Structure 1
Amino acid sequence: MKKVLWFAAGVAVGVFAAHQFNQTAQGKKVFADFETKVRDFTDALVDGYREREAELRAAIGDAGDSVKKAATK
Structure 2
Amino acid sequence: MKSLLWFLVGIAGGFVVAHFMNKDPRGHEILAEVDGRITEFTDRIGDAYREQEARMSGLVDDVKGAAADAVENARAAASDAVDSAADAAKKLTD
TM-score (norm 2): 0.69
Residue 3 of structure 1 deviates from its aligned partner by: 3.6
Counterpart for residue 9 of structure 2: 9
Counterpart for residue 65 of structure 1: 65
The count of aligned residue pairs is 73
Once the two structures are overlaid, the 10-residue window that deviates more, 6-15 or 56-65, is 6-15
Deviations 1:9-58 (A, max 9, x none): 33222211111111111101101101111111111111101100010010
2-side partners of 1:43 and 1:33: how far apart? 15
- Structure 2 unaligned residues grouped into runs of 5+: 74-94
2-side partners of 1:63 and 1:8: how far apart? 49
Q: Computing the radius of gyration over CA atoms, which structure comes out larger, 1 or 2?
A: 2
Q: Does 1:20 align with 2:20?
A: yes
The percent identity for this pair of structures is 33
2-side partners of 1:64 and 1:28: how far apart? 53
2-side partners of 1:4 and 1:69: how far apart? 57
2-side partners of 1:35 and 1:3: how far apart? 28
Provide the secondary structure at the position in 2 that maps to 1:61.
helix
Highest relative contact order (Cα 8 Å, sep 6+), 1 or 2?
1
Cα RMSD (Å):
1.3
